Amino acid sequence: MPVHSFIDREEYSHLTTLVSDHYTGKGIILDAGCFAGSSTLALCAGIPKDVLKAADSKLLVAIDRFVVGDSYLTNHFLGTGEDIRYGESFLTAFLDNVASFLPWIEVRAGEVTQVGRLERPIEILFLDVAKSPYLNAYALRHWFSRLTESGIVIQQDFYSPAHHWIAASMGALLDCFDVVTERVGETAVFRLRTPPDAAALTAAGRTDQHQQSLRNLDRMIGRLSTENRPPLLISKAKILNRGGNSAEAKAMMRGLLEVTPDPAMTKWDQWLSSALQIIAPELLDAARTKA
């Protein structure tokens, strides 16, 4: 794995295995939010050798702004010895990391909505750009509609309550997708069963109808194993709170204080504290005491 990575070894290995098991070359692999190349390398490493040899065009499209846009990335690069600061490009670091696979990679640098239009079908879609409801809706409309038969969707931020629209949108599309992997890290993996129409994709991306978002999220929660539900319950509390149901949201947060999460959910305390600050700050002391 390259030094600049926000995925752990288990996730890296899982990405490689997914490609090895499912990729045929009938469509491209889209790495949307590739950062400095760890996901790109993991995906490329899984491409069967016969597919690489037979390729007459790029097999993977890598999309990112490739610009440090927040203090989190600035601190990351400085912490690893790279003097790449706010507003500067890390494209060179990406190209160095993926050099061995560059003949098969099309690199698109820029805002997703400016560089994300694709003509070719997508066989494997790795999503790490749905950081806002708008970008999530863009991915649904422009990329989900291009999935090949049995196409794979890898939702990198699926369990993050900061991006609760992702799980809700997948809940809206459960009639069209099977769950391949419930959880590895913060990721969930889905396989296309029946192509959704344009209206379904548009509806899945809406976040302005709180009751519908709650129904969609409940569908997704009901599909998951009990041990994987707690982060999505935090997401549900956040949607309730945004919709004006603060009393119900606070009651949910009180219940979540009693949850003993899977040890593999390394961000649980961070997720819980962040939600409490918004929904029920009076419960923060109880959360710290339990921790």
Q: Print the SS3 string covering 166-208.
A: HHHHHHHCCCCEEEEEEEECCEEEEEECCCCCHHHHHHHCCCC
d(CA 180, CA 235): 22
How many Å separate Cα 123 from the centre of its chain?
Answer: 17
Task: Calculate helix-pair angle for 133-142, 164-172, nearest 10 degrees.
Answer: 30
Longest dimension (CA), the chain: 61
Q: Give the residue extent of every domain in the chain.
A: 9-204, 227-290
Tokens found for residue 184? 């590895």
- Report the top-level CATH class of 9-204: alpha beta
Residues 214-242, buried b or exposed e (16+ Cβ, 10 A)?
bebbebbbebbeeebbbbbbbbbbbbbbb
pTM to 2 decimal places: 0.92
pLDDT range class, residue 84, cuts 50, 70, 90:
confident
Q: Is the pLDDT of residue 4 over 70?
A: no
Position 6 scores a pLDDT of 64
Tally of CB atoms within 10 A around 243 = 15
CB 271 within 8 A of CB 291: no
pLDDT tens for each residue of 237-264: 999 999 899 999 999 999 999 888 888 8
User: What is the arithmetic mean of pLDDT over 85-107?
Assistant: 88
